[in-house]
Amino acid sequence: MPAPGPPNGGGPNLPTDLDLALSDTNSVATGSNVTIQEHEYERYYTPRHGRRFHTFPGSQYFLPADEEESRRLREQHQIFQSLLGGDYYQLLGEMLGTGGNGDIVVLDLGCGPGTWVEEFAEEFQFAEFIGVDLVPMARQQLENAQFECYDISARGIGERNGDVGVVHARCLSFGDFGRLLQDAHSVLTPGGLLISIEIDWRLDHQSEFPHFNMQATQDFLGRVATCAAVANAGVAWDPALIPGWLVDAGFQNVQREVREIPVGPWMGSQPMQELGRLVQTMYIKFVAAMRSALLRLPGADVAQVNDLVAEVMHELESEENDGWSIPVYLVTAYKG
């Protein structure tokens, strides 16, 4: 039986709520036992402005979904591990303990290439890890890790019956995030843990009057906010609102921590300088990824967008941009 085609073109319509679970390293199996082979993956993507994007209609996700973006996401994971790795292991260790009956489920929303799932599934082999993303970017490497493919911004988390012990949500940042947290609350078992990690891409500076104002970057971020508002149907996105949304969703013991990470190697210690270099590189790649999204805004001019992106790259690579950082929000909460 042939595999279904993508949502827009390339064959019959694919329902936006179709579940795709990776059955091995070379194929994706759907809930109806239809297998999508690796050579058919390309049918789920479309080229645009030199990058590759998903083909799900109406999705709020506007970044590319190609190998270049996968590399950026893996580098982003490395940054989070440098910043939060110990917290991850402590939180998951406290929730998962040393084992049990093997039916503990950990759900990773927006798993991308599956780096987080693979790392922690290897560490906690007695738990079942499930990664969910819009497109089949990940490949199954471990028996206790699998991947599903659907649009959580349109459908929600999916049909689960309160059997999830941990929900991990990282860098999702779409409009109706409050509804997603309500879904997370419904699928978690009593006492279950939600971990939310979000980057606020707006730059902070250590002094009130920076000598290098990063004007092009600030202009770029304004356009990113416009792009996000368009994708999110006008709903504003601010990670500072997550604790309130969690309380509204019924979570308890909500804890928030904000950590500033340097953009560039300007911070004192050697580890923080190395982290700053990673963040600088990742930020530059984020800007490159956002170019295609900005070109989709009404009235966008290709030459102007290209000039702006070039100016932002120059600012980010400049040795004068010391003192700039971006905040990372780590929020945890439990289902009562």
Per the structure, the complete domain to which residue 331 belongs is given by: 20-203+237-263+325-335
pLDDT at residue 98 in the model = 55
Residue 154: band (very low, low, confident or very high) from pLDDT cuts 50, 70, 90: confident
pLDDT of 36 higher than 60: no
Render pLDDT for 296-325 as a digit per residue (tens, 0 to 9).
Answer: 778 889 999 999 999 999 999 998 888 899
**For residue 120, is pLDDT > 50?**
yes
Q: CATH number, domain at 184?
A: 3.40.50.150
Assigned token pair, 190 = 């009593």
Residue 161 has pLDDT above 60, yes or no: yes
Q: What is the CA radius of gyration of the chain?
A: 20
Confidence tier at 104 by pLDDT (50, 70, 90): confident
Residue 65 placed within a domain:
yes
Q: Which two tokens stand for residue 323?
A: 């003192």
Confidence class for position 102, pLDDT limits 50, 70, 90? low
Which residue, chain included where needed, has tokens 């929600």?
156
Residue 52 falls inside a structural domain: yes
Taking 60 as the threshold, does the pLDDT of residue 180 lie above it? yes
- 227 within some domain: no
User: Is 46 inside any structural domain?
Assistant: yes
CA distance 1 to 8: 20
Round to whole Å and give the CA distance between 186 and 181: 9
| pLDDT above 60 for 92 | yes
Cα 187 to chain center, whole Å? 20
Number of domains making up the chain: 1
Q: Is residue 331 part of a domain?
A: yes
Residue 156 lies in a domain: yes
Q: Does residue 280 surpass a pLDDT of 90?
A: yes
